[in-house]
Structure 1
Amino acid sequence: MAPAPTAGADATPPHLLLVPFPAQGHALPLFDFAALLAARGLRLTVVTTPANAGDLVPLLTAHPNCVHPLTLPFPSHPSLPAGLENTKNCPPVYFAVFIHALAALHRPVLAWAKEQSEHPVVAVISDFFCGWTQPLSVELGIPRIVFTPSGVLGTAVPHSLFRRHVNKRPVERDDGFKVTFPKIPGEPAYQWRELSMVYRTYIEGLAEELAGESQSLKQNFLWNLESWGFVSNTFRALEGRYLDTPLEDLSFRRVWAVGPLAPDTDAAGERGGKAAVAAGNLSAWLDAFPEGSVVYVCFGSQAVQTPAVAAALAEALERSAVPFVWVVSQDGVVPEDFEGRAAVAKRGMVVRGWAPQVAALRHAAVGWFMTHCGWNSVLEAVAAGVPMLAWPMSADQFVNARLLVEDAGVAVRACAGGIGVAPDPNDLATVLADAVGEKGSVARARAKELAGEAAIAVRSGGSSHQDLEQLVHEIRML
């Protein structure tokens, strides 16, 4: 998203403090947003810790005069292993503890900010898991903007849960128990198991010694509702229904929709670290297949499938006879001999570790994306014009799946989803075969249409471009 022409650079550009949440799916889109702000001449200081500082290198390299790191020690906590500075290896039950521990950065960040007399901070932009920056901004007498790596719907749902304190527990965890969201357009409803694990862990109760951390999790979301507004990685053609009117579940706060922030193929490649398969090799393999015939399968960097789930997926891929690329995490499992059989049949490829997802989705041979519906993956598929086979696991993914299937029409449900829930191989094989066949034509056409709308949104004059320029203007007015 290129910056609009300006009359001239400010003599003293506004200085913003950015506080990312140390999880890849949260930090990377915030860095993409930071790049847009830096390209418009704003001065940015980004809070990081030693183990996470490397993630900032591409942003610092691209904008050395505008972006500066503030590296602070990660706060220790007796319930967290020493050296744990991001959520990659954090057990779900300790997620609230991690958020609670990170909040201890409040004091050193406040002390640093008070020393910035030459370039005082005019606003804080922080992830929605960094609610502690709201009282920080109050102490500094400046506004705080919440950055959400989710869409508007995916942001409103958890805030609604904490705001209303939905606390009715299903009998014996009955999956039929549903929670309705009456203040959200369409009044969506989700089964208890489809709600964020963060909220379910909070409501079902942590160990007694972690009760304080659990309460701080609720306070985190309530603090967000006191902010100046929300910046969301979304766009009006995808979520206009939830942008047209301020939402009560977001305390009627302003939402600037500035997405999609999906990176280009080069930027995405830099993030891969040690790639298991070079982009060129995967592209060469895909070149052998007709347009739109291959299903790309990937469930994100953190979801590890159980052997039962992996076996069901492998069997479905073989029965469906569709060409596929299956990306398996470093700790993931693949049924014995499956990879060899796929190679012999010259119909499938298994990629272990990282894969060039953005480049793969934009290859002409890739016609469908089987995904966990993590928001970053969703937007990468949307930007590429690739329809999705929705297989949500946790977090905001069930909410995203509903949006994609029922609102946007760019996805079909692969299975009921959920961590460890194995689909029926026959049913999944049918879904795969139908998707690449004539039955998938409507979703394919709608995906291409939405990709065009996404491209227009970030161009000069587009809805996301206008929201971004308006936000930058209001920051300059501070």
Structure 2
Amino acid sequence: MATTKTTATNHPTAPPPPPPPPHVLVVPYPAQGHTIPLLDLAALLASSRGGLRLTVVATPATAPLLAPLLAAHHAAVRALVLPFPSHPAFPAGVESAKGLSPALFGALIVAYAGLRGPLRDWARERSGGPDRVVAVLSDFFCGWTQPLAAELGVPRIAFSPSAVYGTAVLHSLFRRMPRREVDDDDESLVPFPDIPGAPAYPWRQLSMLYRMLRDGDEVSEGVKRNFLWNLESSAFVSNTFRRLEERYLGTTLVDLGFRRVRAVGPLAPDADAAANRGGETAVAAADLCAWLDRFLEDGSVVYISFGSMAILHPPHAAALATALERTGVAFVWAAGPTVTPPEGFEERVAAASGGGRGRVIRGWAPQVAALRHRAVGWFVTHCGWNSVLEACAAGVPMLAWPMTADQFVNARLLVDEAGAAVPVSWGGLQAAPAADEVARVLDEAVRSGNGKGGGRWAHVAARAKELAEAAAAAVSEGGASRQDLEELVRELRELGCQK
């Protein structure tokens, strides 16, 4: 018969306490479009079966973005707030990409790398105890965390808030360093022979981070080194889903040098979770949805947004405003505080049809709630990847108007391969389209409605609905993205068992 081990006082010996969950260091990049999806991933890791503990790095300016994550997962997640490092190439007092001149984007990457030393010291102080760091999970703009992880003797997992396709194009640039055939010719095509389909892009449509490189310049060298370090990471996690990027998820990043690629998206939140990110946003979302409820026909309203960082130049804003007035399309335009439509535009559309057929939002816009409202049928977008995934999750077809960064690459993916978008303009920041052309696209989109009433682009709207179903399936139990997430958790937990 089995006996119970007892102490000298004849009391049963208490079992040893279970070891604490593995501890992962999470390093977001200080730009809202990069930070928020990584925080969404952190929330999934914190709530996973078996559990993980996370320390998320922030600076005083970015720390408020962590508040919802800390409130929801206070037992598993903590913040490590460090002073923003100074750098001679970066202005003092600036801590994020918000409002930053494009000329300083590279300098921000290089300046932020100054956290490497403080983080190394912080992690080494915990190396012998239960809080030892078992892995570093960081944004791909934080390539400096690769040598940091090597110094700590742990793996680094790179996170991409972009498409796998866009990530491949960006890293192909820094790996191959191609040049345009004709100097000063912004239309000169740059081919990508190492990517399926061998795409080519005009020079002006490539990332500004690459186009602004200068030989021998410290910042340029730092930016290049950042992306080459990513190729040494142990794995790459992307905010995308298989149905959207099947062509590239097989071997594209592996061929470029990445060892493993996992698709865990879309990391698009529901409307309530998204509303908690902007202060008085729940009220704003309810107010906008009440306004949209007035439109009885499903898919009759166009939602317009060029993202939180893009500044729509006056010629572009004028073309859009003129087209909206000319067509009479019902719309919501998340214009932000810096966009200036033609004089009197807002007053005229607010007065049209009694209660108004158009609405301009100057502050924070509840985009997820708007896209998931039945009245919204199309989305005029700059094709930033977070917006793309929110539209895919909501089943809303897109009118693609890329401006800069990875937006041209994303737009090509949506238009040419996914079939879920129609182009408005390929001119970017350099060339505004004619108002007549914008009006034609808007008019045809509204005629196509939500895909049920015919129209030239009804098949595009129908394809968007198919992608929404695929996106929902991917993150559901047994779905491809859920499986990739669970494999990531298992890998991190196994690291915690290693001595």
TM > 0.5: yes
Alignment-derived partner of residue 4 in structure 1: none
Structure 1 unaligned spans of 5+: 1-8
Deviation at 1:301, TM superposition (A): 0.8
Q: 1:439 to 1:198 in 2, by over 3 A?
A: same
Map 1:425-440; keep pairs closer than 5 Å.
425-437=435-447, 438-440=455-457
Map 1:38-437; keep pairs closer than 5 Å.
38-40=46-48, 41-116=51-126, 117-118=128-129, 119-168=131-180, 170-175=182-187, 177-202=188-213, 205=214, 211-248=217-254, 250-273=256-279, 278-289=284-295, 290-345=297-352, 346-437=356-447
State the Cα deviation string for residues 159-181 of structure 1 (Å, max 9, x = none): 00000011236432332x11111
Judge conservation of contact 2:232–2:258 (CA < 8 Å) in 1. no
Deviation at 1:447, TM superposition (A): 0.4
Q: Distance in 2 between matches of 1:138 and 1:369?
A: 43
Q: Secondary structure at the match of 1:406?
A: helix
Deviation at 1:241, TM superposition (A): 0.8
Q: Secondary structure at the match of 1:236?
A: coil
Amino acid at match of 2:257: S
Amino acid at match of 1:158: L
Residue-pair matches, total: 464
Judge conservation of contact 1:391–1:414 (CA < 8 Å) in 2. yes
Q: Distance in 1 between matches of 2:430 and 2:316?
A: 6
Q: Secondary structure at the match of 1:402?
A: helix
Amino acid at match of 1:357: Q
With normalisation by structure 1, the TM-score equals 0.94
State the Cα deviation string for residues 292-317 of structure 1 (Å, max 9, x = none): 01110000011111221111110111
Deviation at 1:276, TM superposition (A): 11
In the alignment, structure 1 residue 465 sits paired with structure 2 residue 482 = yes
Q: Distance in 1 between matches of 2:18 and 2:168?
A: 36
Judge conservation of contact 1:183–1:248 (CA < 8 Å) in 2. no
In the alignment, structure 1 residue 475 sits paired with structure 2 residue 469 = no
With normalisation by structure 2, the TM-score equals 0.90
Correspondent of 2:27 among 19, 29, 38: 19
Higher radius of gyration, 1 or 2: 2
Judge conservation of contact 1:394–1:419 (CA < 8 Å) in 2. yes
State the Cα deviation string for residues 428-473 of structure 1 (Å, max 9, x = none): 1111111121112001100001100000000010000000011111
Alignment-derived partner of residue 36 in structure 2: 28
Q: Distance in 1 between matches of 2:92 and 2:292?
A: 43
Judge conservation of contact 2:334–2:361 (CA < 8 Å) in 1. yes
Q: Secondary structure at the match of 1:68?
A: strand
Deviation at 1:246, TM superposition (A): 4.7
Judge conservation of contact 1:275–1:353 (CA < 8 Å) in 2. no
Q: Distance in 1 between matches of 2:254 and 2:260?
A: 11
Deviation at 1:158, TM superposition (A): 0.7
Q: Distance in 2 between matches of 1:63 and 1:416?
A: 43
Deviation at 1:281, TM superposition (A): 1.8
Q: Secondary structure at the match of 2:488?
A: helix
Question: Higher helix share goes to which structure?
Answer: 1
Identity %: 61
Deviation at 1:39, TM superposition (A): 0.3
Amino acid at match of 1:79: A
Amino acid at match of 1:344: A
State the Cα deviation string for residues 84-122 of structure 1 (Å, max 9, x = none): 010112211111111111111111100000011322111
Q: Distance in 1 between matches of 2:192 and 2:351?
A: 50
Runs of 4+ in 1 over 6 A off after TM superposition: none
Judge conservation of contact 1:276–1:352 (CA < 8 Å) in 2. no
